[in-house]
Amino acid sequence: MPDTVAALPFVETTLAYIDPAYGPTVLYEYNRDQTTHHYDPRRMPVHDARAARDLSFDRNGFTLIGHRSAVTDFHNAEQVKRVYYPEIAQLVRELTGAEKVIPFGDVLRSDDPAKEALIAPEGGFDPDHVFADSAGQGGTVPPMQVHDTANNPHIDFNEKTLRRMAAAMLGAEAERYAKKRIAMINLWRGIETVERKPLAVCDASTVKEADLVLGLIGTRPEDPGDFLEGFNVAYSPAHRWYYYPRMRPDELLVFKLCDSDRSRPQLTAHTAIDDPSSRPDAPPRRSLEIRTISFFAD
């Protein structure tokens, strides 16, 4: 595998790995100035996954698939909930054989410096309600706000948080699924062809638990609710990074972040990168990601 990877075309860029010496960190999505990350920047090759022939979702934790959505406007919250959520649920069921799939947490992102600042609802909110309302198509937060790109290697949530969020989303069905195998799969697409700040993913087979640093996730320091838990990623020379240059709007990058079956590939770290091959006048990246929780039959 290393020899095969070394033969692939690549770009070299700096990844903002977390510095594990500082221990757990806190991210406030709606007040990033208060985030406590300490970084350990490293120059890394990021390989062209389009040129690879031996990558697979089941072995490496990610894959690219063609997907023409019936959504005509990804900035339209009603269309995303009514059309895109069912499309994504069906796609993940077909890919994994899951018994039940819950889409949630759709997020628009851009590196456009002219985008509007995020607006949090009056009175604050706790993270549980944000995601439970998202899955239930509720309105905890103003819809379709554009968030910053996520610029450090990370894994959104751990199993503890995944089950906690799932219970809130399932309601009366929570007990039925409480002990079933659970997995988190994200799906990411460019709303327009991605010419800068593409998403890079790390081969899950090269990420070890020893590379992970607990990352607590909140909304703002003053908001209620316990933190959610995910991971930031510390540097390892074993990591193998990939991206799909110039992703088109009819392509979806699918990657797995968590699986209660520890024998299966997961821990697909990911981050936006500065692509040195992007032309200087490339338009801002405009993307939509969506998260899913899947449950599997016994």
Provide the pLDDT confidence category of residue 8 given band limits of 50, 70 and 90. confident
Strand positions, DSSP E, 115-237: 146-147, 154-155, 181-190, 199-202, 212-218, 228-233
Segment 72-93 mean pLDDT: 96
The per-residue pLDDT for 226 is 85
Query: Are the C-beta atoms of 148 and 117 separated by less than 8 Å?
Result: no
Instruction: Please report, to the nearest 10 degrees, the dihedral formed by the alpha carbons of residues 213, 204, 273, 243 taken in order.
Output: 180
The per-residue pLDDT for 199 is 98
Residue 162 above 70 pLDDT? yes
Segment 144-173 mean pLDDT: 94
What's the whole-number average pLDDT of the chain? 93
Q: Tell me, what amino acid is at 41? A: P
The per-residue pLDDT for 123 is 66
Model confidence pLDDT, tens digit, residues 13-37? 999 999 999 999 999 988 888 999 9
The per-residue pLDDT for 137 is 59
Domains parsed from the chain with CATH numbers: 2-296 (2.60.120)
Model confidence pLDDT, tens digit, residues 96-153? 999 999 999 999 999 999 999 988 776 677 777 777 677 665 666 677 899 999 999 9
* Residue 27: Cβ within 10 Å count: 22
Model confidence pLDDT, tens digit, residues 213-233? 999 998 888 887 789 999 999
The proportion of the chain whose per-residue pLDDT surpasses 70, expressed as a percent, equals 94
